[in-house]
Structure 1
Amino acid sequence: MPNYFLFYLALSFFLAHEIDAVRCKEWRIFPLLELINEQLARTIFILAHVPLFFFLSIQLSCITENESFMWYMDIFFVVHMLMHIGYLKHKNNKFKDWLSWLAIGGAGIFACLDLVCR
């Protein structure tokens, strides 16, 4: 049986980041959401995570049959980290402290390690 330790560590950091994303009002740096009313943008941002987390849960419940999903998620975690690096200078970016970057970087770095160790 493959070792899933690095993947689940990356996933855990990513989920911690998603909690932090609400605190940092991440919707303010999304190209379309930054243009609309704050309350509506927050609502869309939070509710959009319901089907995403549902899909993630379904995929992870049958991971032995769909291990390629983990590979795709690792790629996503790395791209996500790179996008946050790209948005560092965005005027509405609030991901500035060590805790935010521990979550973002933890997801990306452990995903990279998982990809290398496969």
Structure 2
Amino acid sequence: MATRSEKFHADEQRTGDDKAKREGRSKPGIPADKRSHEKPHAEKKATYAIEPESEQPSRKSTRKSANRSKPDTNLNLRENLQKGSPEAKARQAKARVTKVRGSSTPA
């Protein structure tokens, strides 16, 4: 059960003054749909380049936002599976043990 002060506080929050909408645009002369995705700092950080709107998109994820990219997780997972397989580990161990021609120490 809320106390009187808690009820009062909740009512004040609900009936407070509404914020006035900001008039004008943040960047005059540039339409809102053109502003959002062309930020110079995002281009530096992005994994993939943003594709031109005029062309057919190869990946939807790069067109939604400035720095969204389709992660190459599947590629990395596949590579780790291959490197971590028993066959690959055996191949690496065998290569470590074999001596290089003309050398007395293992490579």
Question: What is the TM-score of this pair, normalised by structure 2?
Answer: 0.26
Larger Cα-atom Rg = 2
